[in-house]
Chains A and B, each alone.
Chain A
Amino acid sequence: MNKLLISNKNDPYYNIALERCLFKNAADDDIILYLWQNSPCVVVGRNQNILLECDTDYMTKTGILPLRRFSGGGAVFQDLGNLNYTFIANEKYADDEKFKLVLKKVTGDLNVNSVFTGRNDIHCQGKKFSGYAYLSEDQNYMYHGTMMIDVDLDMLTQVLSPSILKIQAKGIESVKSRVINLQQINKAITVENTIKLFGKAFEQVYGPYQVIDYQGQDLDDTYSLLSSSRWIYGQCPAYTLSLEKKLKNALVTLNLEVTDGVISRVKVYTDSLEPDFAAKCEKILLNSLFEPKNILFRLESLI
């Protein structure tokens, strides 16, 4: 059955939880198109290290939310100027070319001259306005991507520059691409008319569809998982990092090894005059969850 769901919420944790539930519970013969928009957030790939991808200090300051998705690929910044699309189908019926055909019809109707590149991006005028990723699990296949219509590019540039530089990690790093908003190409393009065109193109390619909603028990649990620090910061390959923090009356350099998001080894160097200050710092940090915004706060509390 062909199904269309347009999320009425902008909460990114909710939207990705909903996507996950649609994916998990898709019937054998389902072709689902799910359209959704998130309030400002950074979404990293399944195997990425969020610290390596973005400026977490800037995110805390501006209230941009951190997320980890289930599919692979790189980090993206999103706000309400972006539209996300997701195709879900059984592996037997999933056909990237058909999904791309829907996308080509949408961009064609928007009068955008689009080019699909080898890196799974869609370009116009040599710049990227859409990137996509996929996931296969238990016979189900998901193909999803972003479409930049009027994204805040200043914020995007700021947030996707990592603030912690001295980090050695084995995660998957993003490759930076030059980007463009569809509105820069054609002022008349809005999120609303793009959503309408998605419905139209979906029908042209797959035939009539049914508009659905989803309310399942598993939504709450997936939501909790997605919004937990252990998932966001912990579900990435182990890494070591070194960072300098200025406390009220001391400069500390922290050398950390982080496994499953937990600080597994720590060495602290400091210019503090208090003799056992470094040891105290080490004690408080060891075996605790590594969250960049909390570290400074917890060290301050020692003073």
Chain B
Amino acid sequence: MEIKMPLLPGGKMGTVGKINVKVGEIVAEKDELAQVETGKGNKTIKAPAGGKICKICVCEGQKIASDELMFEISEAEANCPEANCQCACQEKQSENITTDLCVIGGGPGGYVAAIYAAKQGLKVTLIEKGALGGTCLNVGCIPTKAFVKSSEVCRTIKEAPVFGIYPQGDFKVDMEKIVAHKDEVRATLVGGIEYLMNKNKIQVIKGAARFADQNTVIVEAEKTYVIKAKDYIVSTGSKTSKIPICGIDLPFVMDSTAALSCSELPKSITIIGGGVIGMEFAFIYRNLGVQVNVIEFLDKLLTMLDSDISSEILQIASEAGIKIRLSSKVTKIQPAINDQAVVTFEKDGKEEIVVSDKVLVAIGREPNLEGLDSEKAGLEKGPRNKGLQVDEGMRTNVEHIYAVGDVTNIIQLAHIASRQGLVAVDNILGKNCQMDYHAVPNVIFTSPEIASVGLNEDECQARKLDYVAARSGFAANGKALTMNETKGYVKLIKDAKTNKIIGGSVIGVDASTLIAALAIAVQNGLTEENLTETIFAHPTVGETIYEAALGLGIGALHE
């Protein structure tokens, strides 16, 4: 079949622009073959039918007239895709693997599912292109907590005189050592997972996986692995969201991953985004003595929290010296002549600027399907074309393929990914399990910490539930007072009819530890009485839970 240049009006000449195919390439009907410029227009030449490109009769930059021959396509050879990749495949060795379960991605969703499946007798292959442990362990939960600890130590030293301790001389912050400490913790944990993989006889393949079809996954590593499994779990996680703000690629702009290996401490930083990642970093840097500005697009910080808690952390952050602008849209980032960053944003229709050494973009994370070729397995995407669509049993639309964790775009939490992994494996084993999201604890490591579980007050109102909420502050708690940590409170929410605890939040000291008690209460439908009848040890911050529970009925004793 010959492809000729279509008619150019007025007998004009065109110029061949980009040629999109090579000789020997297999094309499908309507694939783009070349672009031709005509005047200031562009005409896309497409294949009228599928076939193999036998001959290209034009070259880039050449003038071309109407009806001139451009391509020759052989339709007979449309169905031999091997012709296309011969050279690539022949050089490399390939290995065929048959297994029960193939897990793609070794983060807290994937590796937990792999161990759980292996313990129940399945033959498991796990594919990971980076380091085991995923985002959580390498560039998320754990590394940030190492930074949080370093920054808390710094704060403790500054506050030491309150406790009668006077550190001698100046102390200094060594960011290189802070990063090294984080890397040590990370390495230990990654090593731990490697050990668990060996112990459970899970085959780990290092490389990037892609689906060739519903039943085949290919990994191009030192050799080509062709994996056929009875079932698959996709746990490819998430990647940092990007926004195309002007100047986002400037050298002083970092995302959270870059910030975690940045071994210099800036004097000042502007954080774009007042969500979990943004606020954790805001307090980390502030506690290390950095001037911090936070610019949030929405009208509150940490939007998943109850409004009163969000206002409380806004006030605490402001008192700590973190400058915050809400309802502000960043429009551009520019370098000043002294190499500082100038961030321009709009608030209430007016333009404002903020100047700092560094900029941290923390606008969130989104499902990662890069290079997976999920469409070749026929996998349906979720709403707004993000992530993979799953049901409550973590099944995708393809019977033997499951998806868990951030890639499902349901809740981005490591502990949810792990639980989803267990549910997926149970379903593979025919146990018919479902995810239950009614008591998911969520912790934010600001100073002080914030944690919540179950419903919050805003959600209760939205659902028009008949509920009662009660708060008890740490200011009335003896242990908190000794620690000089009197900010914040515990808030409990009960169903007014059944007296069951349906939600709770803690903002204040040890919130990350206290939330476990509230999670047990919500998960198991404990009532207000179950809590008030429980003996809480004295003197502990846990007593505040007891006081809040009393607040749901007769009222707290110590307020």
Contact = CB atoms under 8 A, between A and B. Distances in A.
Interface of A: 10-14, 39-40, 45-47, 60-65, 70-74, 119-120, 131-138, 170-172, 217, 220-221, 227, 235-238, 293
Interface in B333-385: 333-335, 384-385
A70 B17 contact: no
Contact of A47 (B42, B243, B247, B333): B42
A237 B19 contact: yes
B201 interface: no
B61 interface: yes
B44 interface: yes
- A interface secondary structure, majority: loop
Interface in B12-55: 15, 17-19, 35, 37-44, 46
Nearest to A221: B385
B68 interface: no
B41 A136 contact: yes
A134 B41 contact: yes
Contact of B18 (A11, A46, A133, A220): A46
Contact of B246 (A39, A120, A135): A39
5 contacts: A11-B243, A46-B42, A133-B40, A138-B46, A170-B59
Contacts of A131: 40
Nearest to B60: A237
Contacts of B386: 220
A63 B333 contact: yes
A39 to B, nearest CB: 5
Contact of B244 (A65, A71, A73, A221): A65
A72 B334 contact: no
A136 B43 CA distance: 6
A138 B29 CA distance: 13
- B interface secondary structure, majority: strand
B255 to A, nearest CB: 16
Contacts of B249: 60, 63, 293
Given A46-B17, A47-B18, A134 B40 contact: yes
A34 B229 CA distance: 49
A47 B35 contact: yes
Contacts of B61: 170-171, 237
Given A61-B335, A71-B41, A72-B35, 18 more contacts: A13-B244, A45-B42, A46-B17, A62-B247, A63-B250, A72-B38, A72-B41, A73-B42, A74-B40, A120-B40, A133-B41, A135-B42, A217-B384, A217-B385, A220-B386, A236-B17, A237-B17, A293-B249
Contact of B42 (A12, A70, A220, A227): A70
B436 to A, nearest CB: 30
A161 to B, nearest CB: 20
B437 to A, nearest CB: 26
A247 B18 CA distance: 33
Contacts of A73: 37, 40-42
A18 to B, nearest CB: 14
B39 A11 contact: no
Contacts of A172: 15, 17, 37
B60 A238 contact: yes
Q: Which 7 A-B pairs have the closest CB atoms?
A: A47-B17, A170-B61, A63-B247, A72-B42, A237-B60, A73-B40, A63-B246
B44 A39 contact: no
Interface in B538-555: none
B331 interface: yes
A64 B332 CA distance: 10
A96 to B, nearest CB: 10
Contacts of B46: 138
A220 B335 CA distance: 30
A215 B346 CA distance: 25
Contacts of A132: 40
Nearest to B39: A120
A254 to B, nearest CB: 21
A89 to B, nearest CB: 14
